[in-house]
Structure 1
Amino acid sequence: MNLKTSYSLIAPFYDAAVERATRAARRRSLAALPGDGERILLAGVGTGLDLPHLSPAPRYVGVDLNRPMLRRALPRAGKLDFAPVQGDVQRLPFTEAAFDAAILHLILAVVPQPEHCLGEIARVVRPGGTVIVFDKFLRRGQPALLRRLANPLARRVASRLDVVFEDVLATVPQFACEDDQPALGSGWFRLIRLRRH
């Protein structure tokens, strides 16, 4: 089963499983967005759980591979200047430096090739731009045997459990890590802020 199919099946239940558990961490993460950004990308916008927590001033573009997820996101946009785009975050349909900032919430550990996703974000975010990440990551050398054992099944259905953020970041030299804090699950989920060189 590919991600597009599995998330079409998950879409009706996604909010019930994820919204309440991640609400406070999402708010904390989104507070790191710069106030002067005019055009902000939500990569893997999903059902739009971030949208109610965003400032109304900027223009937002939300990209997701899955049309049922995007349909669920639209009502959450309210009065935001929000444009949904169906597309692959590993091959973004935008020009270079098109955005002032990007939000990557629960997407790097979902896509098959997180390095490609972060590389595409580096391409479409302008130099000096901010990228905020909220996701679950292993740390280098962390055994996490249960997560690693569950990963082959989990990655086919919903999410990878074996992504090491430092390894992904090392493939994209355009970014510097400005902040990295534990968020949920005893630090398994992290809030990370990157700056584009």
Structure 2
Amino acid sequence: MSLRHSYTVLAPVYDTFVAPFTLAARQSNLALLPKAASTEVLLVGIGSGLDIPLLPRGPRYTGIDLTPAMLERARRKATAEKLDIQLDIGDARALPYPAAAFDAVVLHLILAVAPCPERVLAESVRVLRPGGQMLVFDKFLRPGQSAPLRRLISPFVGLLATHTDVVFEQLLAQTRSLEVVSDTPTLARGWFRRIVLRKRAS
């Protein structure tokens, strides 16, 4: 089963299970976004648009997701919030935007979901301007953490919804363009983390 098919099936119930659990972490991350009207913000894997009601007014927003059924829910939220946001169907591993097009990139619950998360991170870096901010919220193992159950089930649950064995530091090591500004444990005894990154000036 492809992820697009899985999330088409999950779309009607996704918010019910995910929204209450992740609300506070999303709010804390999105509060860090720059507020200037000239700011361009990309939300990669925007899904059903859980971030939309939490976005500060001012910046120009673009959201992209692989699944039309999820994007339709995001459109409804944008309409309800009267938020002007461009919503595109596309693959996070090959973003359809030019290099250095955005001042900030939001990666909420996408790096552990997408196949080849290193490509998702690399593409996000590509479209981020030097000095730009990247906001990550997801579940990650720590380097050297055993977590045998999470590692055991990851190949199976990864086919349906999300991987449970992604080590963020391994992804970060594949790009030299990012520096860590902050790394805050949150939810599930720190399995979930809020990570703020900055793209180094070239």
TM norm. shorter chain > 0.5:
yes
Q: 1:68 matched to which residue of 2?
A: 69
The aligned amino acid for 2:18 is V
Given that 1:59 and 1:80 are in contact with CA atoms closer than 8 Å, whether structure 2 keeps it comes out as no
Q: After the TM superposition, which residues 19-168 of structure 1 pair with which residues of structure 2 at under 5 Å, given as runs?
A: 19-36=19-36, 38-77=39-78, 78-168=81-171
The aligned amino acid for 1:102 is V
Cα shift at 1:83: 0.6
Q: Give per-residue Cα distances to partners, 1:132-164, cap 9 Å, x unaligned.
A: 000000001000011111111110000000100
Q: 2:186 matched to which residue of 1?
A: 183
Q: 2:2 matched to which residue of 1?
A: 2
Distance 2:3 2:9 in 1: 10
Given that 2:185 and 2:193 are in contact with CA atoms closer than 8 Å, whether structure 1 keeps it comes out as yes
Mean Cα deviation higher: 158-167 or 72-81 = 72-81
Mean Cα deviation higher: 22-31 or 63-72 = 22-31
Cα shift at 1:38: 1.3
Q: Give per-residue Cα distances to partners, 1:2-58, cap 9 Å, x unaligned.
A: 111111111111001100110011101112222336110000000000010111211
Residue aligned with 2:48, SS: coil
The aligned amino acid for 2:69 is P
Moved over 3 A (4+): none
Given that 2:31 and 2:56 are in contact with CA atoms closer than 8 Å, whether structure 1 keeps it comes out as no
**Could you list the runs of 5+ residues in structure 1 that have no partner in the other structure?**
none
The aligned amino acid for 2:96 is P
Percent sequence identity over matched residues? 51
Distance 1:120 1:47 in 2: 21
Residue aligned with 2:152, SS: helix
**Could you list the runs of 5+ residues in structure 2 that have no partner in the other structure?**
none
The aligned amino acid for 2:92 is V
Distance 2:147 2:181 in 1: 26
Residue aligned with 1:112, SS: coil
Distance 1:119 1:68 in 2: 26
Given that 2:30 and 2:56 are in contact with CA atoms closer than 8 Å, whether structure 1 keeps it comes out as no
Given that 2:33 and 2:56 are in contact with CA atoms closer than 8 Å, whether structure 1 keeps it comes out as no
